Amino acid sequence: MIKKIIPLGFVIVSSIAFANNFYATASLKGPNGSLIRSINSLIPENKFVAKQSGGCGEAVANFEGSTTPSAIVWSNSMYRNSRKSKQNCVIDYEKAKPVMVTRVPYEVCVRSDYTLPYTTSKPLSFGTNKFVPNQDHLKELNTNVKGLKFYNVIHKGSGHVLSSLINGDIDVGFIARNSAQKAMDKGSIKCLYSSGENRQNGQQPLSSLVPNTGLATFNLGMMVWVNNMSDNDVEQLVAKLKPLEKELTKQSNVDIVVGMSTQQVKSFIDEAKGLENSN
């Protein structure tokens, strides 16, 4: 029986069927911020106000402490992040109701004026974020077919990795695609490898650099859950958000489902549980 889930991202608190406050445990510069902006575009009469939370414990307190309709966005890495942060990041998802799911591929990027060397006498700096299994990823990255060696520089989120890359503070960045896309399009960075299948900016599959690894296919999965809402209210919200299945595809998101089946919900939760002991 499904009893608990670990959240990440934003909490939405509302005075009617939808939300007016949206508390973030991850940076608003990253994928969660992109998702909330996309949601807002479909409900202009009642936009969410995003607010940064101090951590997943604070986000959960806001979500579960609300007596009005509320929502939360959490990721497939949250069992891991709850273990690592030692915060109370578990919500009761027997009471919460699922609304949608989406996934964001990751890119391996460099500055536009930088060329990844064929060999190097010292390790290259690899900018990544605290919400991904960065230690496991580093081990896998260091098995790359080029024989290059890297060391981690941990950031708060993908937006911070992007800023460090553009500023020249790191050699290589591991960035969620929707955080990297505008910089790719402007030409301020170039992304060499992608964990996603849709590679419109000339990226190679990440599997060609690190074959047979979890890093090669890593993505950020995000689900939106609500509570204190009637079944009818949830149905109305799902109907309003249904266009996201096409809109988020334009932002290079994948596996977008608005209005999830019981099996889809269970599969996602099982995936999150499977990542609990990743590092």
For the domain that residue 187 is a member of, what is the CATH number? 3.40.190.10
For 46, 145, 152, 154, 215, the CA distances from 135, given in Å and listed in that order, are 41, 19, 8, 10, 11
Is there a single domain that holds both residue 87 and residue 74? Answer: yes
Mark out the alpha helices in 107-206 (DSSP H runs).
134-141, 158-166, 177-186
Q: Within a domain: residue 139?
A: yes
Q: Which structural domain range is residue 43 located in?
A: 4-104+220-274
Q: Which pLDDT score is estimated for 20?
A: 57
Residue 279 belongs to some domain of the structure: no
Q: Where are the beta strands (DSSP E) in 112-230?
A: 124-129, 150-155, 172-176, 189-194, 204-205, 219-227
- Among candidates 162, 8, 158, which has minimal Cα distance to 83? 8
Residue 84 lies in a domain: yes
Number of domains within the chain: 2
Express each pLDDT in 7-56 by its tens digit.
344 554 443 445 556 665 566 777 888 888 888 888 877 676 676 677 77
pLDDT of residue 279: 83
Contact 91, 70 (CB under 8 A): no
pLDDT attached to residue 5: 38
Instruction: Quote the distance between the C-alpha of residue 90 and its chain's center.
Output: 18
Place of tokens 């998702």: 35
- Tell whether 122 and 256 lie within a shared domain: no
The pLDDT score that the predictor gives to residue 14 is 42
Same domain, 99 and 233: yes
How far is it, in rounded angstroms, from Cα 72 to Cα 17?
A: 14
Looking at residue 23, its pLDDT comes to: 60
Instruction: Kindly give the parts of the chain with pLDDT less than 70.
Output: 1-27, 46, 48-49, 51-52
d(CA 243, CA 37): 14
